[in-house]
Amino acid sequence: MACQYGNCSTPNSCNCAGSSYTIPSNAVYGDSTCRSPIEPCSEVTCNECVRNCHQEDKWCTTVWTDIPSDATGGINGPWPPGQANYGVQVCMFKGERLDHFLQKLALAHTDPLHYAYMVKNFYINQVTSDIIDIVYWDFHEATESMSLWVAPEDSDDWQEFPNFALGNPMTSMTFTIPITNILFSGNTYKLKIITTGFMPSGNVDTIDPASVILYVTIP
């Protein structure tokens, strides 16, 4: 994939901040492509490069879920006692990336009641034998706290990265994880974010997980 005019710094370019986008060598994984029957696409386009380009400001839908008959409130509550279901609005905005929207849809279906306090865009920007560089954003401005956790791919033995919460995760939006004695080259790990937020009732709920779960193999 490349910019339409070749040089992104020229007028009327594809506006990708100064250089054309190059598909990374690790963009094709295992048996997910190049299978039989033969992959029909002549070009691979990464989903973070696909954006909503229509003229409307946004389009929205409501995701519904059943709630307990005795539930009394939530992020968008309160609702009448005994109400059978609960809806949360999910929108795709003009210019928004496809990978961002797919995460929002998945999270809204997973836990609509806590959707507002979930991190709706969480991905790995770079991984090397020394660091894992993560990016995260799009969450409720009233989020009380946020923490980052890691576990081996086939385990639920989650461990917290304390340096993440000791900083200012609600404003930094990026974090570099050093490859330390809990992470080893050649192994696959999963990452998640946990948040807390105030409900209308005044209680503080812990949302776990408050993001999609990322899987990453350290070179």
Grouping H, G, I as helix, E, B as strand and the rest as coil, residue 117 is helix
**How far is residue 46 from each of residues 58, 160, 181, 194, measured CA to CA in Å?**
22, 30, 33, 27
* Domain boundaries defined on the chain: 1-45, 46-217
Residue tagged 């496809």 (tokens): 98
Q: Comparing 35-39, 79-83, 94-98, 166-170, which segment has the lowest mean pLDDT?
A: 79-83
CB 43 within 8 A of CB 1: yes
Strand, coil or helix: 161: coil
Confidence of residue 177 (pLDDT cuts 50, 70, 90): very high
- Fold classification of 46-217 is Immunoglobulin-like (2.60.40)
- CA atoms within a 13 Å half-sphere pointing along the CA-CB vector of 171: 3
Is 71's pLDDT higher than 60?
no
42 or 208, which is more confident? 208
Look at 43-47, 136-140, 142-146, 150-154 and tell me which has the smallest mean pLDDT. Answer: 43-47
For residues 177-213, one letter each, b for 16 or more C-beta atoms within 10 angstroms of the residue's C-beta and e for the rest, the string is bebeeebeeeeebbbbbbbbbebeeeeebebbbbbbe
pLDDT, averaged across the chain: 78
pTM over 0.85: no
The beta-strand segments (E) located in 142-187 are 143-152, 159-160, 174-178
pLDDT at 75: 41
Q: Is 105 helix (H, G, I), strand (E, B) or coil?
A: helix
pLDDT confidence of residue 60: 92
Q: Which residues make Cβ contacts (< 8 Å) with residue 211, sequence separation at least 6?
A: 103, 107, 118, 119, 120, 122, 136, 192, 193
